[in-house]
Amino acid sequence: MFRVTRRYQFAASHRLHAHGLSDEENRRLYGKCNNPFGHGHNYVLEVSARGPADANTGSAVDPRRLDELVAREVLQPFEHRNLNCDVEAFRDLTPTSENLAVEICRRLKRSWPSMFPGEWPKLEKVRIAETARNIFEMDAHEIP
């Protein structure tokens, strides 16, 4: 069994602001990340899938299929967007990297069977580096 990981990048902006909290509480909680007009990140996304190497191809994951899925579900809708305004899931949900990882995992999991209809490979993990020091991992099995 193999775990295969592929790395992608996209740039997007966001503002950390919880709708349920006051402006003062938001400033205290998120600091400069709460600045009204937001800020950008060059996100590095790693998508991991698990499966056996195919007897014919010798590969566990077809990278072209994975690229197509990630481009359609994540890169095209998120690239150069404001996550708060342009992504429906973040209209009422703060686009922290934790919530972003959940949303990306959901999108990939939902469309996974259309690209990988067989038993393998399975989506295993999504990892997002927001900065070189802030890295967030989501286990795909935890998403219903």
Summarize as ranges the residues that interact with Ni ion (CB under 5 A).
33
Give all strands of the β-sheet with 81-82 in edge-to-edge order: 81-82, 2-14, 39-51, 122-129, 135-139
For Ni ion, which is the closer residue by CB, 21 or 33?
Answer: 33
**Chain CA centroid to CA 82, Å:** 15
Beta pairing, strands 135-139 & 122-129 = antiparallel
**Residue 33 annotated as catalytic:** yes
Terminal-to-terminal C-alpha distance of the chain:
24
Min dist CB 39 to Ni ion, Å, is 6
**Is 137 an annotated catalytic residue?**
no
Q: Which C-beta is closer to Ni ion: that of 29 or that of 33?
A: 33
Q: Is 80 a catalytic site residue? A: yes
Least Å distance between CB 130 and Ni ion? 6
Whichever of 18 and 33 has its CB closer to Ni ion, that residue is 33
- Catalytic one among 14, 41, 103, 130? 130
The pair of structure tokens assigned to 3 is 């775990």
